[in-house]
Amino acid sequence: MLQVKEPGFFTSVQDRGRFGYRHLGVPVAGVADRLSAGRVNGLLENPEAAAVLEMTMQGPVLEFSDPTFISYSGASMEIFLDGQALEPDQVYAVPGGGVLNCGRIKNGFRAYLGVKGGLLTPLVLGSRSYYSPVTERSQVKAGDELAYTPCTDYTPKILKWSHADHIRERELLAFPGPEFDLLSQIQREMLFSQEFSLAKEHDRMACQLSELLPSHTISMITSATLPGTVQLAPSGKLIILMCDGQTTGGYPRILQLEENALSIVAQKKSRDRVKFCAAGY
Amino acid sequence: MSPPPFRIKPYGPKAVLLEWPARLEMEILFDILGFAAYLKKGRLEEPRWEYVPIYHSLTLICRDEPVNLESLASELRSWYQSYPGPDAIQTRYWELPVCYDPEFGLDLEEAAQILKISPETLIRKHCDTTYRVFGIGFLPGFLYLGGVPDELRLPRKASPRARVPKGSVGLADRQTGIYPQTSPGGWNILGKCPIPVFDPLREPPSFIALGDSIRFRAVSRAEFDLHRIEAEVGVYDYSKKYGNAAG
């Protein structure tokens, strides 16, 4: 068991997401930054869909009841295993009783901790991803015990990745969304010529951007939305729907982000800047 | 070959959007349901493909590879030609109990005043209408119900509540429905349904499907309590007692 001593600011179990229930209003959920989670599972030679811990802003304090191997990636954080500082994107053996102290996140917004074989918390609708109210809670709390299979014998094929470069990236590759054609010429130009900064309203559901486009009165009938859909509210506010984003919405869907662009956005915090780059025109 | 009734729009690298004419009509909804069922049979199969039908659109999402829009669009057009139509759609009719007591119907009095009818008349009209499920989305299990009669059209509340209790039945503009979870909301709250419309531990988690029809049945506080307990211990019979398969 992985025992949660202190939960950190917002820590949750996430896999690749919950598929097949969007038509009932159930968001995909899953890791916000797939690239970073993929690095961790790659080093541990876990299946791509293995569940990891997603840590936001301030990491947790964890105790491993049994030996295993771990790795972390994503945003940089100070992290200590029984007092020894760990490097990102490497595999470390953890003894039974080992205590992992995850500190404050510095560059980026979310860090990922993987365990050999993946976390084995219960599957709900085919996924281990926390998303309330599909799962009981949206984050771990002190005293939680997260299951994993102990492992004492593992020789990684890859010892180390070079640093993740998408953390600092700010260009978001974007395809035209279904309502892109309804934008005015001025709106289109602004969308692709200026930079936008994240507002303080940003979480796993949606990221609002601070700078506005000209307001509009486009009305549409509610239709499907996806992770990575960029909506334009009537006030001119841009909203990027994230992994926990609603499955349907009534605001014009002006852009659809390419998948890796979502990982880039997931590492941004308030006031960080992003820029849309047109793809497929 | 005549063109299909829908437009095909790209929706990022892995999804495609089919849009029928922008009207809220049963005929369109059933054509979408029928065509989706036809595609699922050996053409664009689940779980590789996910389907999100709502109102006048159908979004097809491929889980693994990027889609080749051009070839998919031409396949969709030719499949629509061979699609026999929505004849086989099975929809169900559900009767959902609602307690309109003042304890639950937080805005019932005020809503009746705005509509210039008595609370009793409002309850009766709300229960006399058969509503159609035009979509499920926004939140897990949230139903977009169509068919609210003109005489029940109400504006949203001027300031939304921070916390509308789970199961609350609301009315606003052209919409009525049940809050599947406790959440913020700006609808006028008329009552409460004791039956959870979404339960992640059930398969499928929502017993109501797109295209089904729904009526509300006013129940006493005592019957509300009974159904709540039945639902909690898992003996409320969704399929037989209060719903039927007749459509």
Q: What confidence score (pLDDT) does residue B238 get?
A: 65
Instruction: State the pairing for strand pair B131-136/B213-218.
Output: antiparallel
CB pairs under 8 A between A and B: 119
User: Residue type at B9?
Assistant: K
Q: Which two three-digit tokens encode residue B214? A: 């729904």
Q: What confidence score (pLDDT) does residue A159 get?
A: 85
Average pLDDT over residues B217-236: 91
Categorize the per-residue pLDDT at A82 as very low, low, confident or very high, splitting at 50, 70 and 90. Answer: very high
Nearest CB partner across the interface for A19, out of B24, B63, B135? B63
Strands (DSSP E) contained in A122-263 are: 145-146, 171-176, 196-202, 206-209, 223-224, 229-232, 238-241, 248-249, 253-257
Q: What confidence score (pLDDT) does residue A225 get?
A: 97
Average pLDDT over chain B, rounded to an integer: 91
Categorize the per-residue pLDDT at B245 as very low, low, confident or very high, splitting at 50, 70 and 90. Answer: very low
The distance of B174 to chain A (nearest Cα, Å) reads 12
Nearest CB partner across the interface for B54, out of A178, A224, A257? A224
What pLDDT digit, counting tens, does each position of B60-119 carry?
999 989 999 999 999 999 999 999 998 767 889 999 999 999 999 999 999 999 999 999
Q: A181 in helix, strand or coil?
A: helix
Average pLDDT over residues A137-161: 96
What pLDDT digit, counting tens, does each position of A211-245 carry?
999 999 988 899 999 999 999 999 999 999 999 99
Q: What confidence score (pLDDT) does residue B194 get?
A: 95
Instruction: State the pairing for strand pair A229-232/A238-241.
Output: antiparallel
Categorize the per-residue pLDDT at B138 as very low, low, confident or very high, splitting at 50, 70 and 90. Answer: confident
Q: What confidence score (pLDDT) does residue B135 get?
A: 96
Contact between A135 and B205 using a beta-carbon 8 Å cutoff: no
Contact between A133 and B50 using a beta-carbon 8 Å cutoff: no
Cα–Cα distance between B133 and B215 in angstroms, integer?
Answer: 11
Radius of gyration of chain A (CA): 19
Contact between A224 and B57 using a beta-carbon 8 Å cutoff: yes
User: Residue type at A64?
Assistant: F
pLDDT reading at A116 higher than 60: yes
The distance of A12 to chain B (nearest Cα, Å) reads 18
Categorize the per-residue pLDDT at B244 as very low, low, confident or very high, splitting at 50, 70 and 90. Answer: very low
Q: What confidence score (pLDDT) does residue B246 get?
A: 40
Q: What confidence score (pLDDT) does residue B118 get?
A: 97
For residues B20 and A221, the answer to whether their CB atoms sit within 8 Å is no
Categorize the per-residue pLDDT at B2 as very low, low, confident or very high, splitting at 50, 70 and 90. Answer: confident
Lowest mean pLDDT among A30-39, A255-264, B227-236: B227-236
The distance of B3 to chain A (nearest Cα, Å) reads 20
Closest of A75, A34, A74, A55 to residue A228, by C-alpha = A34
The distance of B177 to chain A (nearest Cα, Å) reads 14
The percent of residues above 70 in pLDDT, for chain A, comes to 99
CA nearest to B180 within chain A: A133
List CB contacts (< 8 A) between A247 and chain B. Answer: 52, 137-138
Q: What confidence score (pLDDT) does residue B247 get?
A: 36
Spatial strand order in the sheet of B175-178: B188-192, B168-172, B175-178, B143-146, B131-136, B213-218, B93-98, B243-244
Q: What confidence score (pLDDT) does residue B239 get?
A: 59
Average pLDDT over residues B153-169: 91
Better-scored residue on pLDDT, B173 or B96: B96
Contact between A24 and B10 using a beta-carbon 8 Å cutoff: no
Q: What confidence score (pLDDT) does residue B236 get?
A: 78
Categorize the per-residue pLDDT at A105 as very low, low, confident or very high, splitting at 50, 70 and 90. Answer: very high
Exposure b/e, B193-224, CB count within 10 A at least 16 = b: bbbbbbbbeeeebbbbbbbbbbbbebbeeeeb
Q: What confidence score (pLDDT) does residue B1 get?
A: 64
Q: What confidence score (pLDDT) does residue B157 get?
A: 87
| Chain A residues interacting with chain B (CB cutoff of 8 angstroms) | 19-27, 124-125, 133-135, 175-178, 220-224, 226, 228-229, 246-249, 253, 256-259, 280
Average pLDDT over chain A, rounded to an integer: 96
Average pLDDT over residues A138-148: 98
Q: What confidence score (pLDDT) does residue B243 get?
A: 52
Residue whose token pair is 């719903």:
B243
SS (H, E, C) chain B: CCCCCCEEEECCCCEEEEECCCCCCHHHHHHHHHHHHHHHCCCCCCCCEEEEEECCEEEEEECCCCCCHHHHHHHHHHHHHHCCCCCCCCCCEEEEEEECCCCCCCCHHHHHHHHCCCHHHHHHHHHHCCEEEEEECCCCCCEEEECCCHHHCECCCCCCEEEECCCEEEEEECEEEECCCCEEECCEEEEECCCCCCCCCCCCCCCCCCCCEEEEEECCHHHHHHHHHHHHHCCCCCCCCCEECCC
Give the Cβ contact number of residue A53 at 10 Å: 29
- φ, ψ of residue B115 to 5 degrees: the values are -80, -5
| Burial grade of B188 (CB within 10 A; 0-12, 13-18, 19 or more) | buried
Does residue B149 have a cis peptide bond before it, meaning omega lies within 30 degrees of 0?
A: no
pLDDT reading at A37 higher than 80: yes
For residues B89 and B211, the answer to whether their CB atoms sit within 8 Å is yes
What pLDDT digit, counting tens, does each position of A179-221 carry?
999 999 999 999 999 999 999 999 999 999 999 999 999 888 9
Nearest CB partner across the interface for A246, out of B46, B61, B137? B137
The distance of A266 to chain B (nearest Cα, Å) reads 18
Q: What is the DSSP letter of A131?
A: -
For residues A1 and A147, the answer to whether their CB atoms sit within 8 Å is yes
pLDDT reading at A114 higher than 70: yes
Q: What confidence score (pLDDT) does residue A163 get?
A: 84
